[in-house]
Amino acid sequence: MPIDFSSQHDPLASEEALQAHIDAALNSPVSFDRYMGRMYQVVDKVFRPTLLHGDRVPDRPCLFIGNHSLFALDGWVFAPTVFHELGRSVRALGDKFLFSNKALGDTLIDLGAVMGHPAVCEALMENGSDLLVFPGGAHEAVKSASEMYELQWKERYGFVRLAAKHGYTIMPFGMIGPDEFYDHWLESDEIPNSALGRLLKRFGLLDENTRTDMLPPIPRGSLGTLLPRPQRCYIGFGHPVDLADYAGKTPTKPQQRKIRDEVAGEIEAQLAELLRLREQRRREDSLLRRILTI
């Protein structure tokens, strides 16, 4: 059945609406065996994901934290791969706007995604769910090519406070590949002064108040199309950051900064290792894959 995008829905319109979303997130028949299994078949064929250091993931609920890729395509590779390789059903936290259409929101919930709201996170943590968060959010999802594989977390500590309050383990990971699914015809800051930008201004879709740091770049995929390049993907887990000692507490600002920096350091170490590994394995790619990733 096609999704009716004209049907708008605000999951934060009231306490009742937020609670309804939480109830749906907790009670939805998330069939990872069916959905993730099918998704992995596609992901494996196109992107050939490789997972490293899976033995570092502890046998307890985790908050998976990693670097975000262009257009937020990484979650579609990460969740099926982790399910297939480790048997972990990871629930991704998404932006509110993804759930503003009820039909689409319900579909995402069935696929395991939920709204990234503190109340939703707390409910799922109390339920002992594995969660996936990208602290870079929209800023990392629309970054320029020159900022590839750079963390852009600014002063965000919300994921640290939530994990600490529930004594969760933060599982840092690095991921390479999705940032290179697309090249950029135009970077975000180049759009306003381009022919496309002038056209958008003409139709009232762009003005002097538009934040260029939130504009997506104009993508160029495989062979100049909108299809993603079949870049091999690599996922590497750092060492877990166990916050059990903080359960029921709020870390001080210096403690939050120290935890955040530790998590960021683990992710950056994995990114460096994965980039080296990929270079060592370049020759394993088929001629067709090499052509399609030019």
The pLDDT of residue 10? 75
Residue 8 — pLDDT band, cuts 50, 70, 90? Answer: low
The pLDDT of residue 99? 85
Q: What is the mean pLDDT of residues 226-238?
A: 95
The pLDDT of residue 3? 47
Residue 29: CB atoms within 10 Å: 7
CA angle 63/19/61 to nearest 5° reads 20
* pLDDT higher than threshold 60 for residue 2: no
- By CB atoms closer than 10 A (0-12, 13-18, 19+), residue 142 is buried
Q: What's the mean pLDDT when you consider all of the chain? A: 88
Q: What is the mean pLDDT of residues 146-153?
A: 85
The pLDDT of residue 1? 42
Whether 25 contacts 124, CB under 8 Å? yes
Q: What is the mean pLDDT of residues 7-28?
A: 82
Q: How much of the chain, in percent, has pLDDT values that exceed 90?
A: 51
In the numeric block, which tokens belong to residue 25? 């997130």
Q: What is the mean pLDDT of residues 246-260?
A: 95
Q: Angle formed by the axes of helices 15-27 and 118-126, to 10°?
A: 40
Kindly report, residue by residue over 25-68, the tens digit of the pLDDT. 888 766 666 788 889 999 999 999 999 999 999 999 999 999 99
pTM for the whole thing?
0.88
Q: How much of the chain, in percent, has pLDDT values that exceed 70?
A: 93
* pLDDT higher than threshold 80 for residue 141: no
